[in-house]
């Protein structure tokens, strides 16, 4: 009797120890917080350290350590031959970068904002994107074009465009849009290692945001696959696709919807080209409803492509019309109140989800 009791007490003690150890492991694997800015910086540092062919060039990336401090410390560590400050000549230094990639180097070209990439779009599309195909595979162009994309705050129409749909329309380019620190670190490493040109669209307003990262993410070998989306939140009533800053908005909307009994599945696209159509369609076949969210213009947008994919592959599963949430179809206003109206907000996503789930009156019926 005494022996049985002793075994029972010992067993309970061991179980408590295992539970505590398990909780500790769980906590330690995701306890560290990392800013998106630091995630990008560490990815650049590690890839430059691992491969001497990798170098960074752009305006103020060296002495000033980056307009947004993404390249902080890199000039001191790698010297002016691998961290090159350029004049304000996007067409010039982008062409130099593409030429260097032709000869086997791995340039990372930083644009202070992707709006300035318009000065260099001929090199990005005609020189970089098309060369592998036009040379019958003889010319590889391993180059990364990176920098902030989309709307910041109060910077006007010429500095607020989202270029995801623009560049994703071009064969030969890969287009990535990170949201979290894990995305930023894992996708930038993948982009630098990729043999093809990659357009890497960051978000200025996310640079200072912190996200939890696991020990796996912090490992120097960590890398995310290009072309694979991430289900940030599982749900069963409606699918919400988003990328970059809009992922955070979609997650906030999902929290609000959950309080009203609507279970939303949030997909962080991560990769715009190639697009993870299989993950999107699998989700829609489960939830039977779709809402796409993006900051860019609605016409010919990323959401339009996603809607087409779902209609082509999963039309029979839809129980409600697809909803597209996008930026207003106007140049970005400068005034703060108008700017807010021109960019999707959390409440827009919530209203769309309610319409899709027949929890509110459709817009057409209300008109």
Write the CB contacts of 96 (distance below 8 Å, at least 6 apart in sequence).
57
Identified catalytic residue from 47, 90, 265, 295: 90
Structure tokens at 308: 């087409």
Q: What are phi and psi of 356, to 5 degrees?
A: -65, -30
The alpha carbon of residue 149 and the mean position of all alpha carbons in its chain are separated, in whole angstroms, by: 11
Write the CB contacts of 72 (distance below 8 Å, at least 6 apart in sequence).
41, 65, 66
123 has catalytic annotation: no
90 has catalytic annotation: yes
Identified catalytic residue from 159, 305, 323, 339: 159
- Work out the end-to-end distance of the chain between its first and last CA atoms, rounded to an integer number of angstroms: 78
Helix-then-strand count for the chain, H and E: 15, 14
54: left (phi over 0), alpha (psi -120 to 50) or beta: beta
Burial 3-37 (b: 16+ CB within 10 A, else e): eeeeeeeeeeeeeeeeeeeeeeeeeeeeeeebbbb
Structure tokens at 227: 């072309």
Q: How far is CA 147 from CA 178, 184, 273, in A?
A: 11, 12, 17
Residue pair 160/150 in contact (Cβ under 8 Å)? The answer is yes
Residues designated as active site: 90, 159
């Amino acid at each position: 009797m005494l022996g049985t009791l002793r075994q029972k007490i010992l067993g309970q003690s061991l179980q408590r120890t295992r539970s505590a150890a398990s909780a500790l492991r769980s906590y330690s694997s995701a306890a560290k917080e990392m800013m998106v800015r630091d995630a990008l910086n560490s990815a650049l540092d590690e890839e430059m350290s691992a491969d001497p062919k990798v170098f960074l060039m752009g305006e103020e990336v060296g002495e000033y350590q980056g307009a947004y401090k993404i390249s902080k410390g890199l000039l001191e560590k790698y010297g002016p031959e691998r961290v090159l400050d350029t004049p304000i000549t996007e067409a010039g230094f982008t062409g130099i970068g593409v030429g260097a990639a032709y000869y086997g180097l791995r340039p990372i070209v930083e644009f202070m904002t992707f709006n300035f990439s318009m000065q260099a779009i001929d090199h990005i599309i005609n020189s970089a994107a098309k060369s592998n195909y036009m040379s019958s595979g003889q010319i590889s162009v391993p180059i990364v074009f990176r920098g902030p994309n989309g709307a910041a705050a109060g910077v006007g129409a010429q500095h607020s465009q989202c270029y995801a749909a623009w560049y994703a329309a071009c064969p030969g380019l890969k287009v990535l849009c990170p949201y979290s620190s894990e995305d930023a670190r894992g996708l930038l490493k993948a982009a630098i290692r990729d043999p093809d040109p990659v357009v890497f669209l960051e978000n200025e307003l996310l640079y200072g945001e912190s996200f939890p990262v696991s020990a796996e993410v912090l490992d120097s070998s960590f890398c995310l696959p290009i072309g694979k989306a991430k289900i940030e939140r599982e749900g069963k009533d409606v699918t919400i696709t988003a990328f970059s800053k809009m992922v955070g908005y979609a997650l906030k909307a999902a929290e609000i919807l959950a309080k009203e009994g609507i279970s939303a599945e949030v997909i962080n696209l991560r990769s715009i080209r190639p697009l993870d159509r299989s993950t999107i369609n699998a989700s829609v076949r489960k939830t039977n409803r779709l809402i796409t969210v993006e900051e860019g213009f609605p016409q010919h947008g990323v959401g339009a492509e996603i809607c087409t994919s779902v209609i082509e592959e999963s039309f029979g599963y839809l129980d409600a019309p697809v909803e597209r949430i996008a930026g207003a179809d106007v140049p970005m206003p400068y005034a703060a109140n108008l700017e807010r109206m021109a960019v999707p907000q959390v409440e827009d996503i919530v209203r769309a989800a309610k319409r899709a789930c027949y929890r509110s009156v459709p817009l057409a019926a209300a008109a």
